[in-house]
Amino acid sequence: MGGAGASSSARSPRQVRKGGTDGRPTGFDPDRYRRRNGVERTIDRLKTPRAVATRYDKRACVFHGTVTAAAVRLWLKP
């Protein structure tokens, strides 16, 4: 009886063609994923202040200062 909760060890031809046995792509590298995830999370934390996320500043040098101030706050935060 198939269904949403049914578990099957047999893989469909599409799954066999697709790659990895655990549902991940064949080119999956855990270390690379860990580093990328860290970068994405840091950028997300940098965007917490609204001025950084929406870029209110007209000039690039002023925006650079805003991002720098946000980075310093993030760095000093315990």
Q: Does 11 fall in a domain?
A: no
Q: Write down the pLDDT at residue 56.
A: 81
Best CA proximity match to 34, nearest among 42, 25, 26: 42
Q: Does 18 fall in a domain?
A: no
Q: Given the structure tokens 């469909």, which residue do they identify?
A: 12
User: What total of structural domains would you count in the chain?
Assistant: 1
Expressed as residue numbers, the domain containing 70 is: 25-76
Q: Does 38 fall in a domain?
A: yes
20-77 per-position pLDDT tens digit: 566 666 677 888 989 999 999 988 988 888 888 888 888 989 889 988 999 999 889 8
Angle of helix 60-76 relative to helix 30-46, nearest 10 degrees, comes to 110
Q: Write down the pLDDT at residue 54.
A: 83
Q: Does 16 fall in a domain?
A: no
Q: What is the 3-state secondary structure (H, E, C) of the chain?
A: CCCCCCCCCCCCHHHHHHCCCCCCCCCCCHHHHHHHHHHHHHHHHHCCCHHHHHCCCCCHHHHHHHHHHHHHHHHHCC
Q: Write down the pLDDT at residue 11.
A: 64
Q: Write down the pLDDT at residue 18.
A: 60
